[in-house]
Amino acid sequence: MQLSAFLYILNIEKYMLPCFTKQFLGMDCPGCGLQRSLLFLFKGEFVEAFNMYPAIYPMIALFLFLILRNRFNFKYESHITFSLMFVTTAAVLLNYILKFI
């Protein structure tokens, strides 16, 4: 089972999309590293995923909460959604700014 999952992940690497911003403008975009970070998550390399794209974990938390919000009722769902969106956006922007320093 692990071998088939590993081979599947290897095929995903072949079909990763290039960053058009980096190709045309020569600079990273705020999402550069997201695909590779997801690939590291699929491989179980959690620290490498964070090192590649630190906003991956807040982003996953946001998407999981948005999925759960449709299924269950939460008392402060609008506050939780706003907080997770704020943290995710801040992590993306902070990561993007730190790339240039």
CA 14 – CA 7 distance, rounded (Å) = 11
pLDDT at 2: 63
Neighbours of 96 (CB within 10 A): 15
pLDDT at residue 101, rounded to an integer? 81
N- to C-terminal Cα distance for the chain?
43
Average pLDDT, the chain: 86
> What is the value of pTM for the model shown?
0.78
Residue 99 pLDDT class (50, 70, 90 cuts): confident
Residue 34 to residue 87: CA distance in whole angstroms? 16
Q: DSSP readout, 27-78?
A: S--TTTTHHHHHHHHHHT-HHHHHHH-TTHHHHHHHHHHHHHHHHS--TTHH
What is the domain partition of the chain in residue ranges?
A: 2-100
What tens digit of pLDDT does each residue of 8-51 get?
656 777 777 788 888 888 888 888 889 889 888 888 889 999 99
Question: How far apart, in whole angstroms, are the C-alpha atoms of residue 13 and residue 94?
Answer: 27
